[in-house]
Amino acid sequence: MDKMTVRDVEWQGVRALVRVDFNVPLLDGRITDDTRIRAAIPTLRYLLEHGAKVILLSHLGRPQGRSAADSLRPVFERLQSLLRGVEVRFADDCMGPEVERAVAELPECSVLLLENVRFYPQEEQNDAQFAQALARLGDVFVNDAFGAAHRAHASTAGVARYLKAVAGLLMEREISVLSQALEAPERPFVAVIGGAKVSDKIGVLENLLPRVDALLIGGGMANTFLAAQGYDLGQSRLEPAALDLARGLLDRARQMRAQLLLPEDLVVAAALAADAPHQVCAADSIPPEGMALDIGPRTVARYQERIRGARTVIWNGPMGVFELAPFAAGTRAVAQAMAEVHGVTIVGGGDSVAAVEQAGLARHMTHISTGGGASLEFLEGKTLPGVAALTDRPVR
């Protein structure tokens, strides 16, 4: 990695202004999944153990102004429990004289979590004055929020114009693992791409196709590819506007003699409901009233064989409507096959991560990305503003 990291800084007595991604799901004010908070703990402990004062910036939700429902206070309470033995404080704002006073009074080897930066519209506008106000709170900027690295916001890219900016341990690992998979993977290299829309992932598909040994397609986007080949998908959800995109990718795969695999059979029901009668149909035999909601058993066996035989696997997007039990088998099968891979396995995207967690297989994966949109854009080959803003490592 050609960017500086927390290992390149002497932290004793230094104010570390750390952008974390604590955008966690809440239900009635309670955190339902603290994965993103736990993912930041190694960086925070590194800074604390090396004598830093740690000031944390994060967003939560999409508030329209200040909102109690989008306060980071529940995160503060969880952070206190995860950093036992460390003094953790909370500020009711993220800028201004009161916050500057709280930072000045913060002891070394302590943490101050600031309130939601998105309470200010200037955050998403990447406003220079707002970024400067944030920068005054620290001596060195640490970006450990890979999940927000694709956003050119004040707290992800703007602050880096005024402070030395280095990657946290989580950011470093995300970039290193994904870069290695794209640029120098162990082979065979297999990508499994699912989800609802081709249009959301066409850039990823185009970037991966010439790099992988096999590209396995599932989920609702597979319906669009099948329709582009002339199959009648009944009442299945697909993207008519993306048919040409799908045809273009299929033509490109044929020209490259690349292996782009589509479902041979599908689990079909007449309604999107857990209690709807369902059956397995060949891809060319879906009844007029049928909806394809998961990949079928022949496809599962074929995909599992390719995955198990790989040395590098990237997975982004479910194979079906995995939230409903009758249509979750394909997604679970991909997770199980990845757990059996003797090599590198990378899971990205909220639904794929949720499926792996639900199956109890997360510990078997090499890397579970904390960035949904960020990991997608990285896999597309795009430059992420939050990464580009980091200070380059000196050339030796």
Reported as a single tens digit per residue, the pLDDT across 107-134 is 999 999 999 999 999 999 999 999 999 9
Nearest 5°: phi and psi at 18? -110, 120
pTM, 2 dp: 0.91
**Would you state the structure tokens that stand for residue 10, as one six-digit string?**
């002497």
Residue-level pLDDT at 352: 87
Active site residue ranges: 36, 197, 350, 373
Q: Give DSSP secondary structure letters for 267-325.
A: EEESSSSTTS-EEEEETT---TT-EEEEE-HHHHHHHHHHHHT-SEEEEES-SS-TTSG
pLDDT given at position 247: 95
Q: Which residue has the tokens 């909102």?
A: 67
- pLDDT for the residue numbered 44: 98
Question: What's the pLDDT tens digit per position in 200-256?
Answer: 899 999 999 999 999 999 999 999 999 999 999 999 999 999 999 999 999 999 999
pLDDT of residue 206: 93
Round to whole Å and give the CA distance between 266 and 291. 9
End-to-end CA distance of the chain: 14
Q: Give residue for tokens 């704002």.
A: 93
Return per-residue pLDDT of the chain as tens, 396 residues.
Answer: 789 999 999 999 999 999 999 999 998 889 998 989 999 999 999 999 999 999 999 999 999 999 999 999 999 999 999 999 999 999 999 999 999 999 999 999 999 999 999 999 999 999 999 999 999 999 999 999 999 999 999 999 999 999 999 999 999 999 999 999 999 999 999 999 998 889 889 999 999 999 999 999 999 999 999 999 999 999 999 999 999 999 999 999 999 988 999 999 999 999 999 999 999 999 999 999 999 999 999 999 999 999 999 999 999 999 999 999 999 999 999 999 999 999 999 998 778 888 898 889 999 999 999 887 888 899 999 999 999 999 998 876
Give pLDDT, residue 66.
93
Q: Which long-range contacts (CB under 8 A, 24 or more apart) does 232-235 make?
A: 232/284, 232/286, 232/288, 233/286, 233/292, 234/268, 234/286, 234/287, 234/288, 234/289, 234/290, 234/291, 234/292, 235/270, 235/288, 235/289, 235/290, 235/291
Q: What is the rounded distance in angstroms from the CA atom of residue 20 to the CA atom of residue 39?
A: 9
Cα 360 → chain centroid = 19
Is 355:331 a contact under the CB 8 Å cutoff?
Answer: yes
Domains of the chain: 6-170 (3.40.50.1260), 185-379 (3.40.50.1260)
50: buried, middle or exposed (CB in 10 Å: 19+, 13-18, 0-12)? middle
| CA nearest to 150, candidates 392, 380, 394, 395 | 380
